Amino acid sequence: MVSPEHNAGDGGHLGRYLGNGVGALRREDPDLYRLLELEHERQRETLSLVASCGGTDPSVLAVTGASIVNVTAEGYPGNRYHAGCRYVDEVELLAIERAKQVFGAQYVNVQPHCASFANHTVMQSVLDPGDTILGMALDQGGHLTHGSPVNLSGKLFTVHAYGLDDDGLIDYGRMAELAAEHQPKMIVCGTTSYPRAIDFDRIRAIADTVGAYVLADVTHIAGLIAAGLHASPIDAAHFTTTCTFKQLYGPRGGLIMMGRDADAPSADGKRTLSQRIQSAVFPMMQGSPEVHTIAAKARAMGRLLDPAFRELAERILANATAMAKALTTRGYDVIGGGTDNHIVLFRTPERLNGLIAERALEACDILVNKNKIPGDTRSAVVASGVRLGTNTAALRGLGPSEMDTCADLLDTVLHAVEPGERGAFHLDDAVRAQVAAEVHRLCRDFPLPYDPAPSADLVGAGTEH
């Protein structure tokens, strides 16, 4: 048996083991190693304004590579189906404790493999196939798992979709009408491309008029909620879900959280709502948990509890506000009139579309994504809008004045690009080179954390055009 004193604290064996693994990979599989290194280089030398991206700290990455991954641990702490779970149990309890603290939650389940699974799990815990739910339409900013016809949620349940009003704001009035008309068992809220604040209390009030559960999927704004910069759904909703890799800067994974309704009785009259979640995650939906990911969630939560995270979250907001203003000043139609979070959604100039804008910007190492906007007549793969997000820029330390520079770069590209057929475009070489050079300068001045020095051997290999 390993004694806790043995090698604990100096990290010697584990640290060497991880380092040896990297060395072995490099020696034994140079082809794969080179691809991974090129990808790393690409991330260093591109300016990601993709709203669904964050960035993982190398300490989080180290956790995901640790040998704790070898433990099969079906069940929950203190109640596993296998031996050898002593430290895994402690790690899971630590992740739960930290997540509760970060979000002010009464109950947290840290096992969901991703936000999509977390949503399916919440639905399976309290709904029966055929039940009626309300969800936000996919093309209005909802997520696939909120009842889209192409997703399991849309196949299992009878879905009525709400969306945005003419001003691009969530149409709560319509939500209330749909609730009264269809008597749903659940209202799903939370969005992927909505720049404005969500009124969770109002949604709960609507749900209460018909006795529906509220599922708030806050994947996009979880970091702002953790920092107290967006109203929290933890007590307003019955269930709150999030992924851990977008605005929480953690590993790929999900969480299910509950506030004041954790101990409320469920419809069967026997178990509480949180007990139903507990058995819905395992054994109903999942098998053995990804214990290394749970450990990485604990690390990510630890970082969220650090006061430095509040500064990062404030920078996310300040950057998005500055970006919305800078684009508005340059004549762009910013949807929703601005932003309350990390997202800025704008209409592309008339002669372009989202697809061409995305491709032309990528040619200059600026990453964005095409996105439908309210009333869009184009399909999602072309779209009339561009969605920007400031999570990664804030992580790099870029601030509001750099957002002005970024808006200039975007504007330069969108003015210069000449649209062709089917997403093809022409961009003047001089413009491309000038914008890319400016992007690379920004990336070097604002490196990813713990990754400062440019590596001369790889610069240009696959990132310059």
147 is known to lie in a ligand binding site: no
User: Min. distance of Cβ 51 from ligand PLP in angstroms?
Assistant: 9
d(CA 83, CA 354): 53
Of the candidates 139, 51, 45, the one whose C-alpha atom is nearest the C-alpha of residue 323 is 51
Q: Which residue has the tokens 């990453």?
A: 367
Is position 64 an interface residue for ligand PLP (rule: CB under 6 A)? no
Which CB sits closer to ligand PLP, 390 or 463? Answer: 390
Which CB sits closer to ligand PLP, 116 or 240? Answer: 116
User: CB under 6 A: which stretch of 181-189, 215-223, 226-234, 333-341 binds ligand PLP?
Assistant: 215-223
> In the structure encoding, which two tokens stand for residue 321, read together?
């506000």
Which positions from 353 through 412 interact with ligand PLP, judged by CB under 6 A?
Answer: none
User: CB under 6 A: which stretch of 114-122, 313-321, 324-332, 416-424 binds ligand PLP?
Assistant: 114-122
User: Measured between alpha carbons, how far is residue 450 from residues 17, 56, 244, 446, 447 in Å?
Assistant: 21, 11, 21, 11, 8
143 is known to lie in a ligand binding site: yes
Q: Which residue has the tokens 């210069």?
A: 416
List 50, 108, 114, 334, residue binding ligand PLP (CB under 6 A): 114
229 is known to lie in a ligand binding site: no
Is position 286 an interface residue for ligand PLP (rule: CB under 6 A)? no
CB 385 within 8 A of CB 369: no
Which positions from 66 through 105 interact with ligand PLP, judged by CB under 6 A?
Answer: none
User: Min. distance of Cβ 290 from ligand PLP in angstroms?
Assistant: 12
d(CA 339, CA 400): 14
CB 281 within 8 A of CB 121: yes
Is position 220 an interface residue for ligand PLP (rule: CB under 6 A)? yes
Q: How far apart are the first and last CA of the chain?
A: 56
CB 417 within 8 A of CB 427: yes
Instruction: Give the interface size with ligand PLP as a residue count (CB under 6 A).
Output: 13
User: Min. distance of Cβ 90 from ligand PLP in angstroms?
Assistant: 25
Is position 326 an interface residue for ligand PLP (rule: CB under 6 A)? no
Is position 52 an interface residue for ligand PLP (rule: CB under 6 A)? yes
Neighbouring C-alpha atoms within 13 Å toward the C-beta of 289: 31
User: Measured between alpha carbons, how far is residue 380 from residues 49, 211, 311, 384, 421 in Å?
Assistant: 19, 34, 35, 9, 17
Is position 219 an interface residue for ligand PLP (rule: CB under 6 A)? yes
User: CB under 6 A: which stretch of 73-81, 214-222, 257-265, 283-291 binds ligand PLP?
Assistant: 214-222
d(CA 162, CA 19): 51
Which CB sits closer to ligand PLP, 189 or 407? Answer: 189
Give the rounded distance of the alpha carbon of 107 from its chain centre.
Answer: 21
**DSSP strand pairing (425-426 vs 418-419):** antiparallel
Which positions from 242 through 261 interact with ligand PLP, judged by CB under 6 A?
Answer: 243, 254
3-state secondary structure of 436: helix
The answer to whether the peptide bond before residue 283 is cis (omega within 30 degrees of 0) is yes
Which CB sits closer to ligand PLP, 219 or 348? Answer: 219
User: Min. distance of Cβ 257 from ligand PLP in angstroms?
Assistant: 14
**Binding-residue pattern over the window 263 to 282 for ligand PLP, x denoting contact by CB under 6 A:** --------------------
Which positions from 130 through 159 interact with ligand PLP, judged by CB under 6 A?
Answer: 143, 145
Which CB sits closer to ligand PLP, 116 or 353? Answer: 116
User: Min. distance of Cβ 168 from ligand PLP in angstroms?
Assistant: 17
Which positions ≥6 away from 265 have C-beta within 8 Å? 271, 272, 273
User: Min. distance of Cβ 92 from ligand PLP in angstroms?
Assistant: 19
Which positions from 169 through 208 interact with ligand PLP, judged by CB under 6 A?
Answer: 190, 192
Is position 120 an interface residue for ligand PLP (rule: CB under 6 A)? no
User: CB under 6 A: which stretch of 109-117, 127-135, 356-364, 422-430 binds ligand PLP?
Assistant: 109-117
* Beta-sheet strands, E only, within 286-427: 343-347, 366-367, 369-371, 385-389, 418-419, 425-426
Torsions phi, psi of 70, nearest 5? -75, -10
User: CB under 6 A: which stretch of 112-120, 165-173, 334-342, 348-356 binds ligand PLP?
Assistant: 112-120
142 is known to lie in a ligand binding site: yes
d(CA 180, CA 201): 17
Residues of this chain that bind ligand PLP (CB under 6 A): 52, 114-116, 143, 145, 190, 192, 217, 219-220, 243, 254
Residue numbering of the annotated binding site: 138, 142-144
Residue numbering of the annotated binding site for (6S)-5,6,7,8-tetrahydrofolate: 138, 142-144
